[in-house]
């Protein structure tokens, strides 16, 4: 018997448990409902592509026709498409892993069979190396790994590595692009004839530094080291071109190895360069990639970060050049999650959320110094980066607020961009005028990350790295170099760590408390020697947890960011 004096407390406890149970049940029901809503979105986009555009590259949903965008990417376009070019089935290739994640094994198998029997790259077509690498090569490599995974049992008939054969054929056609004095690849290459006469020598940092995941994986699977070798040579050459501040520009000349555009940031032209340094370390286990990422990340936090925002700056001086938000920057919080820097990731993500709420979607460019839209770049082409970071933050925190953010994204896409023929891009976010283009990355990334936000069962049995185009590559121990002892969790309690080190130096999550009792606040934080911040020299001062800048000792004997006041 419970004494009467405890009745109120027991009733309160019962109501609390009931409320918690109902809340969890409500969240589970919402996630299931939103999962099905996203599945419906994907199939609406995919089915319309297959009906009106396949086997061409992408769908034009307003007119229900097609565009062969793979040879039209960028400002440089062919005067006319070659007669023998019927498209690369780009949106099908981009959709394969999404079909698996959403449980449509039958459509995945149909896609694999069609590509195996029909796809050819022996065409007179000039393509963008970077885009073709992340979209087509990445899609084929990822789909091959899924198709050949016996535990998934995705194909009813036999599979004889046809997708890998296509990937290898495409990889070979990339190789002439790397035949430059610097090893930095041309941005454009003809699939049949190699680099054309008088080809432009201008390319972007991403175009040179975001090839290693796909081409490295191709080398491992085929046993041909050439693909990884040329991608790694380009990456190392690019790394050697960093400024004294450890920053990188946006565009460069592949013949001279000189920078063309010195303004640097984390957005267009550079974004996936940073992303691939970290993800290459995770996928291949090589310490070189980690050391490069560590150095580059700290430089970004030092010179680009201003509160929750990241402006652009001159790579030579660190002086701010453009104070603007770009939609591509929204990938950064997701990258920060991968190194455990959750507070910094959450801070920036919430600012992107406020801009999304203000306009209904995320505009391509927003001028922070004027608090206004860019006058010409007011469009939203169904980009995935904000959904991607939302997915990563929910995985890291399980905070139900990110489910609410995902619901907002889904509702906005259905309200503003869904049409009878698919999903259309937005030409002007102030009027919500539509543009007749459904980009393949809507199928490869936007729908995929939203689905995984509400249902992550695909990742329960395996770890994956997602490429910059959202193609999953499994993290396999056989792909890794032998890891140092410091990586083994059971040995963490026995490690002799340097006392004055950051989370990134130690390769641990910032939220961890180390054996010494030291709590690391952020990825680059190094505490001052004394807890009261007193100092005799600069050596007694650490690294600021917010800006990643080195603190110095003032004349009064206190550590602070005195040099930057």
Q: Looking at the annotation, which residues are catalytic?
A: 131, 271, 364, 385
384 vs 364: CA distance, rounded Å: 12
Q: Give CA torsion, residues 239, 392, 361, 101, to 10 deg.
A: 100
Q: From CA 52, how far away is CA 422, in angstroms rounded?
A: 10
Residues in a beta bridge with 305: 310
Q: 312 - beta bridge partners? A: 322
Residue whose pair of structure tokens reads 């201003």 in the numeric block? 306
Please answer whether residues 203 and 251 qualify as being in contact, where contact means their C-beta atoms are separated by less than 8 angstroms.
yes
Q: 3-state DSSP call for residue 550?
A: strand
Task: Using DSSP, state whether 337 is helix, strand or coil.
Answer: helix
- Nearest CA to 549 out of 306, 275, 314 is that of 306
Cβ neighbours around 201 below 10 Å, total:
18
Nearest CA among 129, 136, 140 for reference residue 165: 140
Residues whose CB is less than 8 angstroms from the CB of residue 450 and which lie 6 or more positions away in sequence, other chains included: 34, 38, 41, 387, 391, 406, 409, 410
Contact 325, 368 (CB under 8 A): yes
Alpha helices in 119-198 (DSSP H): 129-132, 138-147, 162-174
3-state class (DSSP) for residue 435: strand
Which 3-state string (H, E, C) describes 447-502? HHHHHHHHCCHHHCCCCEEECCCCCEEECCHHHCCCCCHHHCHHHHHHCCCCCCCC
Closest Cα to residue 345, out of 308, 400, 291? Answer: 308
**DSSP E strand boundaries for 76-187:** 126-128
Residue 269 and residue 250 in contact, taking contact as beta carbons nearer than 8 Å: yes
Annotated ligand binding at 200? The verdict is no
Numbered residues of the known binding site: 468
Numbered residues of the known binding site for Ca(2+): 468
């Amino acid at each position: 018997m419970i004494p009467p004096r405890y009745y109120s407390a027991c009733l309160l406890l019962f109501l609390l448990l009931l409320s918690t149970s109902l809340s969890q049940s409500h969240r589970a029901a919402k996630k299931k409902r939103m999962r099905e809503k996203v599945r419906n979105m994907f199939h609406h986009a995919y089915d319309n592509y297959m009906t009106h555009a396949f086997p061409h590259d992408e769908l034009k949903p307003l007119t229900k026709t097609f565009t062969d965008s793979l040879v039209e990417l960028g400002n440089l376009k062919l005067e006319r498409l070659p007669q023998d070019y019927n498209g690369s089935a780009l949106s099908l290739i981009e959709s394969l892993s999404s079909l698996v994640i959403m449980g449509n094994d039958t459509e995945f198998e149909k896609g694999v069979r069609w590509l195996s029997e029909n796809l050819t790259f022996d065409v007179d077509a000039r393509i963008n190396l970077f885009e073709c690498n992340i979209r087509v090569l990445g899609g084929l490599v990822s789909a091959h790994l899924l198709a050949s995974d016996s535990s998934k049992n995705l194909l009813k008939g036999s599979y004889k590595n046809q997708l890998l054969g296509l990937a290898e054929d495409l990889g070979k056609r990339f190789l002439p692009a790397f035949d430059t004095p610097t090893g930095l690849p041309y941005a454009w290459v003809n699939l049949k004839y190699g680099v054309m006469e008088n080809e432009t020598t201008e390319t972007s940092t991403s175009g040179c530094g975001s090839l290693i995941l796909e081409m490295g994986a191709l080398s491992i699977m085929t046993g041909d080291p050439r693909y990884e070798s040329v991608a790694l040579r380009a990456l190392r050459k690019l790394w050697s071109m960093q400024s004294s501040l450890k920053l990188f520009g946006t565009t460069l000349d592949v013949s001279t190895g000189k920078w063309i555009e010195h303004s640097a940031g984390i957005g267009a032209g550079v974004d996936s360069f940073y992303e691939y340094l970290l993800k290459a370390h995770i996928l291949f286990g090589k310490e070189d990639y980690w050391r490069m990422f560590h150095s580059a990340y700290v430089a970004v936090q030092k010179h680009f970060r201003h509160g929750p925002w990241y402006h652009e700056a001159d790579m030579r001086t660190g002086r701010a050049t453009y104070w603007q938000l770009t939609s591509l920057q929204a990938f950064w919080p997701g990258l920060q999650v991968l190194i455990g820097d959750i507070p910094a990731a959450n801070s920036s993500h919430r600012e992107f959320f406020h801009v999304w709420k203000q306009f209904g979607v995320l505009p391509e460019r927003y001028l922070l110094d004027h608090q206004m839209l860019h006058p010409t770049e007011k469009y939203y082409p169904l980009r995935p980066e904000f959904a991607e970071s939302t997915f990563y933050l929910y995985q890291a925190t399980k905070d139900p607020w990110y489910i609410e953010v995902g619901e907002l994204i889904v509702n906005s896409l259905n309200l503003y961009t869904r049409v009878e023929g698919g999903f259309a891009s937005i030409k002007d976010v102030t009027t919500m005028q539509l543009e007749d283009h459904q980009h393949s990355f809507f199928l490869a990334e936007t729908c995929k990350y939203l689905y995984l936000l509400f249902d992550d069962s695909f990742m329960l049995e395996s770890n994956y790295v997602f490429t910059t185009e959202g193609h999953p590559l499994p993290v396999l121990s056989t792909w890794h170099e032998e890891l140092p002892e410091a990586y083994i969790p059971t040995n963490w309690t026995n490690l002799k760590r340097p006392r004055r080190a950051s989370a990134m130096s130690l390769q641990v999550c910032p939220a961890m408390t180390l054996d010494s009792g030291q709590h690391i606040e952020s990825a680059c934080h190094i505490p001052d020697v004394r807890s009261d911040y007193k100092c005799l020299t600069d050596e007694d001062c650490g690294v600021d947890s917010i800006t990643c800048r080195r603190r110095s000792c003032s004349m009064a004997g206190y550590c602070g960011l005195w040099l930057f006041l």
